[in-house]
Amino acid sequence: MTDASGASNSTAGTLYVVATPIGNLDDISARALKILSDVALIAAEDTRHSVRLLQHFGINTPLAACHEHNERDEGNRFITRLQAGDSVALISDAGTPLISDPGYHLVRQARAAGIAVVPVPGACALIAALSAAGLPSDRFIFEGFLPAKAVGRKSRLSQLKEEPRTLIFYEAPHRILECLQDMESVFGADRPALLARELTKTFETLKGLPLAELRAFVEADSNQQRGECVVLVAGWVAPEDEQAVSAEVMRVLDLLLAEMPLKRAAALAAEITGVRKNVLYQVALEKQKGE
Ligand code: SAM
């Protein structure tokens, strides 16, 4: 095992980053169970929560807290144990550690100290949702939780309006309706979307609809405003006319739009670039509507 500078720490233990289930306990892997039984210590986001999981599988490994409030300061304690030769498993309350969960600082500290960090993959809500959503999965971005307040949320969504990759968000149930309302107003009523709720659990629901219909579905049924959820939204597809306009032509049009009225800008941009005036006029109109 080597750190970034090539130094190695061959007597140290290993930090295992272990995924745990997001609902259905059968989703834990045989390898995860073996590692959780074999390590000297389990660093857990919430020890009271994780003790129930471990008891279920008959695992008695000692637990120590590693959560967002102590991770930076207490990280050294885990590093000292690892350097002394003990292996440690890092787990969060559910799913994959570090994915909207603690662990980042500990992993960084361990790697900097030349300690081997080994992933033990398993459940992750965003990947489970994407795998069954039927939205483009070749390129996607994970945005985690949106800001809780409306102004921040809308501003973040506006930044993502023309993002062509599939968008994935985590959301708290008490904010799901507001979140879908804001998505509808920013991304448009027709943008395909999917709500993945209570994945792997009894009331698992995957509902794929255009945003306005999805918002109406959730609004009409308060059960849809409960439980854990992932929201996926299809990426932006440029209108056909805009697709025909290259980035360079757009740059010219944007520069002119900043200096003169829309009609004049479209006419002048057409003269400069050779693209039809009507096409540029429509593109400029669309752009202004979206701003
Ligand atoms: N580390 C976890 C993972 O790998 O997915 C995520 C932890 S984050 C604190 C919790 C959020 O993940 C929830 O608010 C929800 O958005 C999503 N989530 C977790 N479990 C889920 C489930 N069973 N169904 C749907 N979403 C879930």
Ligand 1 centre to CA of 79 (Å) is 28
Q: Is 22 in the pocket of ligand 1 (CB under 6 A)?
A: yes
Question: What's the confidence (pLDDT) of residue 246?
Answer: 83
Ligand 1, residue 125: give the atom nearest the CA.
5
CATH class of 126-233: alpha beta
pLDDT higher than 80, residue 291: no
d(CA 159, CA 112): 34
Ligand 1 centre to CA of 204 (Å) is 13
What does residue 144 show for φ and ψ, rounded to 5 degrees?
Answer: 60, -145
Residue 241's pLDDT band, with cuts at 50, 70 and 90, is low
Q: Is 23 in the pocket of ligand 1 (CB under 6 A)?
A: yes
Most confident of the ranges 65-69, 186-190, 239-243: 186-190
pLDDT higher than 80, residue 2: no
Q: Is 99 in the pocket of ligand 1 (CB under 6 A)?
A: yes
* Residue labelled with tokens 């049009």: 253
Residue 1's pLDDT band, with cuts at 50, 70 and 90, is very low
Residues 6 or more apart from 101 whose CB is under 8 A from it?
45, 92, 93, 95
Question: What's the confidence (pLDDT) of residue 282?
Answer: 85
Question: What's the confidence (pLDDT) of residue 72?
Answer: 79
Q: Is 45 in the pocket of ligand 1 (CB under 6 A)?
A: no
pLDDT higher than 90, residue 5: no
Element (H, E) at 72: helix 71-83
pLDDT higher than 50, residue 32: yes
pLDDT higher than 90, residue 55: yes
Query: Cα dist. 117→45, 62, 106, 221, 260 in Å?
Result: 18, 20, 10, 44, 57
Question: What's the confidence (pLDDT) of residue 238?
Answer: 79
Q: What is the pLDDT of residues 69-124, one digit of tens each?
A: 887 777 889 999 999 999 999 999 999 999 999 999 999 999 999 999 999 999 99
pLDDT higher than 80, residue 266: yes
Ligand 1 centre to CA of 126 (Å) is 7
Q: What is the pLDDT of residues 131-167, one digit of tens each?
A: 999 999 999 999 999 999 999 999 999 999 999 999 9
Ligand 1, residue 19: give the atom nearest the CA.
4
CA atoms within a 13 Å half-sphere pointing along the CA-CB vector of 246: 6
Question: What's the confidence (pLDDT) of residue 286?
Answer: 82
Query: Mean pLDDT lowest for which of 122-131, 171-180, 246-255, 282-291?
Result: 282-291
Domain with residues 14-123, CATH architecture: 3-Layer(aba) Sandwich (3.40)
d(CA 254, CA 251): 5
Are 14-123 and 126-233 in the same CATH fold?
Answer: no
Q: Across residues 179-203, what is the average pLDDT?
A: 98
Q: Across residues 228-249, what is the average pLDDT?
A: 85
d(CA 88, CA 99): 19
Q: Is 219 in the pocket of ligand 1 (CB under 6 A)?
A: no
Amino acid at site 18: V
Q: Is 96 in the pocket of ligand 1 (CB under 6 A)?
A: yes
Q: Hey, where are the domains in the chain? A: 14-123, 126-233, 247-290
Query: Mean pLDDT lowest for which of 11-20, 86-95, 142-151, 247-256?
Result: 247-256
Ligand 1, residue 129: give the atom nearest the CA.
25
Q: Is 124 in the pocket of ligand 1 (CB under 6 A)?
A: yes
Residue 9's pLDDT band, with cuts at 50, 70 and 90, is low
pLDDT higher than 60, residue 17: yes
d(CA 176, CA 230): 9
Q: Is 200 in the pocket of ligand 1 (CB under 6 A)?
A: yes
Ligand 1 centre to CA of 260 (Å) is 49
Ligand 1 centre to CA of 180 (Å) is 17
What does residue 103 show for φ and ψ, rounded to 5 degrees?
Answer: 135, -25
Q: Across residues 53-80, what is the average pLDDT?
A: 91
Question: What's the confidence (pLDDT) of residue 242?
Answer: 66
* Residue labelled with tokens 């300690």: 115
CB 104 within 8 A of CB 167: no
